[in-house]
Amino acid sequence: MKKGIAFLLSAVLCVAGLTACSSQTTSAGNTESSSSTESTSAGTSEAKTDGGAVSTLEEGKLIAGTNAAFPPFEYLGDNGAPDGFDVALIKAIGDKLGLEVEVQDMEFNSLVASVGNKIDVAIAGMTVTEERLQEVDFSDAYYEAVQYVIVPSGSEIASADDLTGKTIGVQLGTTGDFIATDLEDAGDATVQRYDKAVDAVNDLINGRVDLVIIDKNPALVFEGNFEGKVTALDGAQFDFEIENYAIALPKGSALVSQVNQALAELKEDGTFDKLVSQYIEEAE
């Protein structure tokens, strides 16, 4: 989700590291772990893996924060629990680390500040930015993403110049917010910020905003959900840049290398590609 105005759009999977619609669930855990857990004096826990002890906030558990309003990466499933590509991915990572995964649905804008005290990690279609790197470390990138522009069907908005003077809807704290803020600061646009992207799209349909800036995959999901009412435009028309999704972790934590190792193993054993096919490709 989620950075200044010059973004080139075209969602491509990242096969090497840097760094919210299917309602299916996945076990995403075909690997076995010989991990054991033990409590630490600090009240955290350590799970033994091949890469050493994994320190977490609660014994035997990896608490992951997400924002379940960003399909197909995260959304509420039929049972009311968070689901989506990111949720399945972090559960698969937990299996690799020998940890039970608890996923908490939170406001996107509160995720970074919660890492290391309320949650162990944040996975929510989150882009690596210099600002976020001041507060958290990131895993290797697992997805290369781009921004799209959602407009009412029949809108004449088609280029960066057409954004001037418009009211832009964005999800608070996302890349779309950063882009729109740059325009607002330059006096070129007005910004309406929402806790959930779907609220921005609803206001677009009701004429309260002129456009919504959001990542490609959820943009295409919303276009399908509101067929005939909105159109998702390729951000290449607006000179947007490519961005990378990664998992936010506590600064200096050994979890960074351990999560990276688990990610690499999931790509190597085919689990990652299966999740991409199940959650992302089926949603496009």
Taking the C-alpha atoms of residue 11 and residue 146, their distance in angstroms, rounded to an integer, is 6
Percent of the chain's residues with pLDDT above 90: 77
Question: CATH number for the domain including 176?
Answer: 3.40.190.10
Reported as a single tens digit per residue, the pLDDT across 124-161 is 999 999 999 999 999 999 999 899 999 999 999 999 99
Cβ atoms of 282 and 87 closer than 8 Å: no
Residue 37 has pLDDT above 60, yes or no: no
259 and 201 assigned to the same domain: no
Q: Which domain holds residue 203?
A: 146-238
Mean pLDDT, residues 58-86: 95
Q: How many CB atoms lie within 10 A of CB 118?
A: 15
Using the 8-state DSSP alphabet, how is residue 186 labeled? T
251 and 119 assigned to the same domain: yes
Mean pLDDT, residues 149-175: 96
Cβ atoms of 127 and 1 closer than 8 Å: yes
Buried/exposed code over 178-207 (b: 16+ C-beta within 10 A; e: otherwise)? bbbbbbeeeebbebbbbebbbbbbbbbbee
Residue 248 has pLDDT above 70, yes or no: yes
139 and 167 assigned to the same domain: no
pLDDT at residue number 32:
31
Residue 18 has pLDDT above 60, yes or no: no
262 and 137 assigned to the same domain: yes
Tell me how many domains the chain contains: 2
pLDDT at residue number 29:
34
Decide: helix, strand or coil at residue 215. Answer: strand
Band the pLDDT of 219: cuts 50, 70, 90. Answer: very high
Please report whether residue 71 resides in a domain: yes
pLDDT at residue number 35:
31
Reported as a single tens digit per residue, the pLDDT across 181-194 is 999 999 999 999 99
pLDDT at residue number 46:
54
Please report whether residue 7 resides in a domain: no
Residue 244 has pLDDT above 80, yes or no: yes
pLDDT at residue number 5:
34
